[in-house]
Structure 1
Amino acid sequence: MTRASYAAEVTMSHGQRFVSLGGVTVRNRRLVLLWLRRQALRLANGHGLATAADTLPLPTRDVRPVRFHGSDAPEGLRCWATDNRRQDDAIRALEAGFPLLFTVVDPAVGLSLTLSGWRGCLTDHV
């Protein structure tokens, strides 16, 4: 039996180097968006300090922190996570089967951080 699932990941790149900061597989698109919003706010607000999103228990781990050298990337993450129109666009993209991609850049050091979510599937083995 196959059931729909969704996955999300936060990645970072600098030049030719690329690293996954963490990811999750969950049962629906709303949980993907909730997890990505939580990560965006945590990263923007100070490397793991508690945020309002942290009050909702999730059965997943948070991504590793990132040290930003300027305010552009944190402000971009915060704006994406708290703007209702952007969140509506994100959930509609996932609902339509498109991947969700949002990237911010720390121009001080050329670091890129990408939040991504997509529909996948898990296979249950009997």
Structure 2
Amino acid sequence: MRARYAAEVTVSDGQRHASLGTVSVRNRRLALLWLRRQALRLANAHGSAVRDASPADVRPVRFHGTDAPERLRFWATDACRQDDAIRTLEAGFPLHFTVTDPAVGLHLTLAGWHTAPATPL
């Protein structure tokens, strides 16, 4: 059985926690690609409607400041950050990247991890 990866985007206000969407894919590159797409969609939707949503995309989040969207965009487009992310997944460690909207205390986390292959019965 081939290795699989999962990715998820979550939001928290410090007391409550909710998943905005998840995906299970066949390799780490696809997991990172999905996370990058979600980060850019969320960042680009700041102040406007999301138009290019597919069924696999996360629900939009309303940010009250520009710091969180800019940090999401930077993470998704910076080559060094993306190299670090793929190496983290390649080494078998979970990937976590969190941005905070300080205006309302909202924490948005992008996460990816290796899932154990199913064992045959």
Mapping of residues 57-96 of structure 1, within 5 Å: 61-96=56-91
User: Cα deviation per residue 1:50-98 (whole Å; 9 max; x = unaligned)?
Assistant: 4xxx8xxx8x600000000000100000000000000000000000001
Please, which runs of 5 or more residues in structure 1 have no aligned partner? none
Counterpart amino acid of 2:10?
T
The alignment status of 1:31 with 2:26, answered yes or no, reads no
The count of residues paired between Structure 1 and Structure 2 equals 118
User: Cα deviation per residue 1:92-115 (whole Å; 9 max; x = unaligned)?
Assistant: 000000110000000000000000
Instruction: Determine the structure 1 residue equivalent to 2:9.
Output: 10
TM-score when normalising by structure 1: 0.87
Q: Percent identity?
A: 69
Which structure shows the bigger proportion of residues in strand conformation? 1
Q: In the TM superposition, what is the alpha-carbon distance from 1:124 to its structure 2 partner?
A: 7.0
Q: For the aligned residues, what is the CA RMSD?
A: 1.8
Distance across 1 between alignment mates of 2:26 and 2:105: 34
The answer to whether the Cα contact below 8 Å between 1:42 and 1:49 also exists between their aligned partners in 2 is: no
Query: Which runs of 4 or more aligned residues in structure 1 lie more than 3 Å from their structure 2 counterparts after TM superposition?
Result: none
Counterpart amino acid of 1:19?
A
Instruction: Determine the structure 2 residue equivalent to 1:108.
Output: 103
Shift in CA distance, 125/45, structure 1 to aligned 2, threshold 3 Å: same
